[in-house]
Each structure stands twice: as C-alpha cells, then as structure tokens.
Structure 1
Amino acid sequence: MTDFIRGRQLILSGLLLAGGLLQTHDLSAQHQSAGTISSASKQTDSGQCVPVAGWIIPGKGDTTLSSVMASVKDKSVVLLGETHINPEHHRWQLQMLATLHAARPDMVIGFEMFPRRVQKVLDQWVAGELTEAEFLSRSEWQSVWSTDANLYLPLFHFARMNRIPMRALNIDIGLRKAVTAKGFDGVPEKEREGVARPAPPAPEYLEFLLPIYQQHERSGHQSAGKHQKPGIYDPDFLRFVVSQQLWDRAMAQEIHAVLDGYDRKKKPLVVGVMGSGHILKGFGVPHQLKDLGTSKIASLLPWDTNRPCKSLVEGYADAVFGLTPMSSPSASPPQQRLGIGFEFGKKTEGALVLQVEPKSIAESAGLQPGDVILEMAGSKVRDSGEVIATVKHQAPGTWLPLKVLREGVIVEVIAKFPPLAR
C-alpha cells in the first residue's frame, strides 16, 4: 500500500511539473477553513475557540507565551504567518519578532515580500545606508508586492534598528512567467534561480487545496464542465498546485541556505515572515524544508477570533494567537492602482509590463504583458518610483494618457480611473 501511495505521488508530481504555472496564488488566512475537518478545537460559549490575547495549541488546548517560547528555544526555523492586508497580523508579527529576538539575538529574518534579486538593497537598508523612500523604491516594493508598505515598515525598521540581517525569500516574477509558459522542465536550469524540483505534495495537501481552488476558480475556465466542479486531476488545478509548490520550495531553499552557511554550533534562528497559507498544517514551506533536511521548525499563526473553529485541528500549527478581527476599511478613498506588475530592465527604456491583473484599470485600457510604458501624462518614466507616484496621485474620474511601445510600434493608451462611488 505504501508503494502504491508513493507511486501516485510521483505520477501526480510529474503531471504538476510538466503542466507549468498559471498566475501564482497566495493562500491567505481568510481561506484556511476550507476542507473536511474531523477534530476541531472546542468552541467556547462566546463562539471563540481562541480568546483575544490567548495562545492555543490546536487540537490540544490552552497554552502560554512562556510555554510557546520554551517549545521553540531549540528550533532552527520559526515561521510567522499573516494575511497580507491585515494590520493586526503585522502588529502581532512585530511583537513576536521582539520576543524571539530577546531570547535568540542571533537572528535572521526572511521575508516572502522580496525577490532574491533585491538582496543587496535589503543589506543596504539594514546597514543604515538607505532612506525609507530609497529602500522602497530600489526594492521595487510597489511593483513586486503592491501592498501598503506602512503595514510592513515597522518590521523592517525593527530589523534595521537591531541590525538583524533581512533575507529575500521569493523568486522573480519573470521566473514564474517563464514556468507558466514552458513548464518547470521547459525552463533551463541556469534560469531557475537555483530552485530545485519541489518535493511531491502530500495527498492531504491536494484535498486541502481543491476546495480553495474551487472557490477561486478563474472566470472563463471551462475544463471541468459548466456544472461540474474541477477535481484533483483537472489540469488547471494541477497548475494551481505547482504554482504554490514552486513558491514554497523557493522560500524553503533560501531559509535552508541561510542555515547551511553557518557553522553547526553557531547557526542563527531564522524567522520566516510569510502568508499563512504557506505554513498551515505543514503542507507548504515546512514540507519543503523537511525535504531539504531542516526539521527543527515551529509554525506560529495569528487567529482572527471571528473565524469558524472547524479548521483549528491538531497539526494546524504549533500554536495560534487570538486577535481582534480587522475592523471595516476606512471611509477614505484607497490609493489608485493601475493593476500591473512591471520592472525596469537593462534592455528597456521604460516600464516593462510583466502581468496585467484581471478586471483592472490596465486591462480595461488594453495594456498587455510585454508592453513597455515610455511616458505617462507626457513625461518620460525613468524608474519604478515615478510610475507609482504618477498612478497614486491620479484623481478619481480622470484619464491618464500612456505612450507604450508594443512590438516595435508606439501606441497611445488611455487609463481611465473611475469616479468615486456615491
């Protein structure tokens, strides 16, 4: 029976890696309740299985911060999860970084938010050589991550204040695009940024991912039929899985490389800051770390106390911390977004569009991957900061003219920003 299961894993892994990647999906904490649960943590009369400011060992019961710290004192890696747009999660991460640093001052902090190619920028930031604005611009924060930097800046300043090395864990969007088009084996090894073939997914991981994929199934997808939900052998679902695994593997390898670079007796504590979907139930980064030979891992996750308790089962994480649910968004208008991923390369004299978000202003304007934005509102664009600033300050209900180079021909594109809803 063991050989049969292993054989299915290898066959499925081959299908996944041959299929290539579609758009990478990050599984945030708000979707972690999907799947069938058999032994949920006990729910209190108030409807909360984790009290605010309380620690719980999933499937076992209450614990304390001191007990949590005692359990991680001999770990090599501590993974701190988050939902990217939740301010409470980032405040909790800062609290945990301070607590862990007090116990283990020899620390390295790895961030999912940065691709490896900006590692030098992170080093310069920690060394105090860059201003905040320079750091965000040179790390291409807005084009790479495009989440409000104010949520993360306290973490970055904590690392800088204490001269804690920061490590870029992610891969470049260009690699994800290449694997999307050609499949894992279709991309030459020298262009994979050192990312090795991911360890085969556990069958339970596929069962966990499937309902999440079904919830997020892309519009226009027809492979499973009009009325039939896709199954685990659906080609699009397999590409969804491998996209997640490629991301997990890349981050695991970078964490492992940090540990591998130190003497056996002097290894630092590596703290990974990343989306909870890469951590929970050991399916993602922990699974890949163990395949690489790193087994002393602790997973700590935030828990919004209004979440259903059915997913809080043994093995969900080593411990979770209860947080007050995020309040409703502010009534102030959000910052403008064009809806593109872009970069400035040596071979282009403008912003090279790498991806266009569905249903975005950029898609409505007709921007396409491969376009090079040369001018915005009649002014040449020279770096990421200029692109971001121009879009951010565009008033609602106005039009932004763009001069774009497309397949050797300059075309005019108009990005129309909708007026505020009344």
Structure 2
Amino acid sequence: MRMRLASLVLAALALGAPSARAEDAARIGCVPPGVWADGTGTAMEPVPLLRRLAEAPVVLLGEQHDRQDHHRWQLHTLAGLHALNPDLAVGMEMLPRRLQPVLDRWAAGDLTEAEFLRQTDWRSVWGFDPNFYLPILQFARLHRLPVVALNVERSLISRTARNGWAAIPEAEREGVGTPAGPSEAYRSRLAETLAAHDRPASQAGSANGVTPTDAAARFIEAQSVWDRAMAEKIAETRRVTGRAVVAILGEGHAAHGDGVPHQLADLGITGTAVLLPWDADRDCDELDGRIADAVFGLGPSIAEAEPPRPRLGVQLDPGPDGISVGAVSDGSVAAAAGLRSGDRILAAAGNPVRAPADLVAVIRRQAPGTWLPLTIRRDGADRELVAKFPAEPLPGR
C-alpha cells in the first residue's frame, strides 16, 4: 500500500516536469513552473531525485517567510519524501527550544490550533501568518511525526550581534556550542546583507567604541550562532531518533551549503540536501551550480481571495537587530510613503517595532483612509515617513 501511495505522490510531483518547453522557460523564467532542476537550472527527473533525497539524513526546505507558495511547495515536498520514507522528523525554525513541550503536545493531538497558537504566542515569537505553517504542522500530526523546535530566543542572537559570543556567559547560551567558522563566501554574502540593511561603512565611523568592521564581524558571528543552534537540534534529533530530519527554515540559512549545512558537517552530519523554491521572476544568474541541490519552479504569484484589510506592501526581513524592508511592491502604500529596500523599521505610530508581529499588529488596527507615522533608519540616520492607507485596501503584501 505504501509503495502504491509513493508511486501516486511521485507521479503527481512529476507532472509536466521533463516536458516543459524551451519557450516556456524563456517566457516564464529559467526554471518553469512544475519543474525540478539542479543548481544550474538544468531540469531533473523528479522520481529519481526524490528517491535519492528520501535517503538523505537531513533535507533542508528553504523559504521566504512571507511567500505562501513557498509553504505550499514545502508541504508537497514533505509529503513526497514521507511517501518514500515514513521515518521522518520535522524541524521548524519558527519556534525556540523552550517551546518544545508545546510542540510535543501538538504532535500528540492534545491541542487545538487555537490552543497551539496561544501557548506558543505565535504572533510575538514568529509573527508571520500561522496559516502558512499550519498545514505542515497538521501533516506532521496526522502522521505522528516528531516536530522539533530548532530555534533559540531572538534575544540571544541580538546580544551576540551587539556584544559578541564570547561576552555571553555559558549559562545564558541556551546550550548552544561555539559555531564552526563560516566560509569566506558566506562571510561576503552576510557582509553584503548588512551593508544593504545598514549605513555604508564609509559613512559609519565609530559608535560607542564599535567600528564598522567590528559590527560586521559580530553580525556574521550572530548569524553563525543562529545556524549552529538549529544544526545542533537537527543533529540531536537525527542521533536520538534515527529519523531523517526535514527542516523548514529561511533560505539564507541553507543556500550554497553554508549556514546550517556547514554547521551540520562540523557536527559530523554529512550528505545534507538543500532544496529551494524558485520564483518565476528570480534572477537566473543565481543558479551558479552551488545554490542548492535542487530547485523547484513556481509560477507567478496569484493574490489570495481574502477579506480586504490594510496592507503596507512590503516584504519584511527579520534580523538580529529588528526588521528591515526586503522588497517594496510597486504601487503599494509603502512605495507611496517612500519606503525602500534596506530600510530598517524602528517604530510604527510610536510603537517600537522589533519583530514582524509588532508591525502587523499596528497595521491591522489601521482604519482605511488614515495615516500611519513610521520611524525608519536609512544610511545610518533616523527618518520619519508617513504611510497613507487608501479608503479601500490595495492588493499586495
């Protein structure tokens, strides 16, 4: 019965993959919708690919946190792997270690969705729409798969970014060990991320005795601690349960074999597979052969049918020191207000913004046709912007 189910799942995942036409690739993107491809963008047969992945000790399913299609892809990929290998555990970046007892009660079927969201304090702890993740959690519970909290408290990462790992007493490290040094390529990418989200080094000078070089080093160290924490929980789960671990986490922690895969290798876990969803409008030059073991092409995003509500129109990128604007939708409230990619949002309507949930909560209280004052940091200087919400909410994020 299981083999028949596996064949059906694989057949569904294979539909249309190898037969995608070259003109479709040119029209839609380098990885057409429904196609599995390797890290160079070359189409792969999905059945052999998934059979091979099902034998990996760890499979990392990357995501952009606010993209619903990414989470749908994660669920379908998880289902395909489970059809081939039922001995799985599901790891989730979204929750810190202290909430493992709540996840255990959820997996055992002892909590309703409402109770689970309340006991995890989801909106404050993670902040992104729980409906993106609940289908994955429901799948795990349905099949009685262990669900593992991979993360640590955000405050630990923030403290590392401010003061350095060495300044944090061992008793306050949540059991996290010292991370393996990151590769030079990973350092470079993280430094570019910091530069995009903060003031340029040429303008920074020294502040509170911390030079731009020191700040960059601590930012990279904080990211490495974050990666190490998740890798340790994955390795522990693999060692204790003997199950393959499928981890749901942000793409930046997995791409190019850096981040979590690098820390896993240092912990003795080799053969980690990295899979990523590939949006139709994504730059094909990123397919450098190293970004992932495989990518899956997604079609253009289609707005979900839902009751209208106020929308700012930005992609939010959480980081050790708060949230930054990753992208601004054309024609959105954010674009009209002058928000730019890389702006760090400090406050909304006078309320401090430290996590996506903080901003979401303020926006949800915003009435159509009203103004929302925002305090942002751009190029090292704090600025005040005003977002005006139309009488009817606009589509978009």
TM-score (norm 1): 0.68
Aligned 1:134-149 pairs, distance under 5 A: 134-149=115-130
Corresponding position: 1:394 with 2:365 = yes
The answer to whether the 8 A contact 1:248-1:288 is kept is yes
Q: Which has the higher contact order (CA 8 A, sep 6+)?
A: 1
Structure-2 change in CA distance of 1:278 and 1:388 (3 Å): closer
Aligned 1:355-366 pairs, distance under 5 A: 359=345, 361-362=347-348, 364-365=349-350
Among 207, 213, 225, the residue aligned to 2:203? 225
The answer to whether the 8 A contact 1:74-1:296 is kept is no
Among 133, 137, 146, the residue aligned to 1:156? 137
Corresponding position: 1:260 with 2:224 = no
| Residue equivalent to 1:290 | 265
**1:352-402 Cα shifts (integer Å, max 9, x gaps):** xx987654555x426599xxxxxxxxxxxxxxx9x9998687352799xxx
| Residue equivalent to 2:245 | 270
The answer to whether the 8 A contact 2:30-2:41 is kept is no
Aligned length: 319
| Residue equivalent to 2:295 | 320
The answer to whether the 8 A contact 2:353-2:359 is kept is no
| Residue equivalent to 2:151 | 170
Corresponding position: 1:309 with 2:294 = no
Q: Percent identity?
A: 39
Structure-2 change in CA distance of 1:309 and 1:394 (3 Å): closer
- Unpaired stretches in structure 2, ≥5 consecutive residues: 1-23, 206-210, 313-319, 324-343, 372-385, 392-397
Distance 1:390 1:113 in 2: 18
The answer to whether the 8 A contact 1:356-1:367 is kept is no
Q: Offset of 1:247 from its aligned partner?
A: 1.0
Among 78, 81, 93, the residue aligned to 1:112? 93
Root mean square deviation of aligned Cα: 3.3
Distance 1:170 1:75 in 2: 22
Among 43, 47, 52, the residue aligned to 1:66? 47
**SS state at 2:269 partner:** coil
Q: Offset of 1:222 from its aligned partner?
A: 5.9
Specify the code of the residue in structure 2 equivalent to 1:304: D
Distance 1:180 1:224 in 2: 20
Corresponding position: 1:234 with 2:213 = yes
**SS state at 1:320 partner:** strand
| Residue equivalent to 1:202 | 183
Structure with higher helix content: 2
**SS state at 1:207 partner:** helix
Q: Offset of 1:46 from its aligned partner?
A: 2.5
| Residue equivalent to 1:93 | 74
**SS state at 1:274 partner:** strand
The answer to whether the 8 A contact 2:41-2:287 is kept is no
Pick the structure with greater CA Rg: 1
| Residue equivalent to 2:381 | none
Distance 2:309 2:49 in 1: 40
Specify the code of the residue in structure 2 equivalent to 1:63: M
Aligned 1:327-338 pairs, distance under 5 A: 327=302, 332-334=308-310
Q: Offset of 1:74 from its aligned partner?
A: 2.5
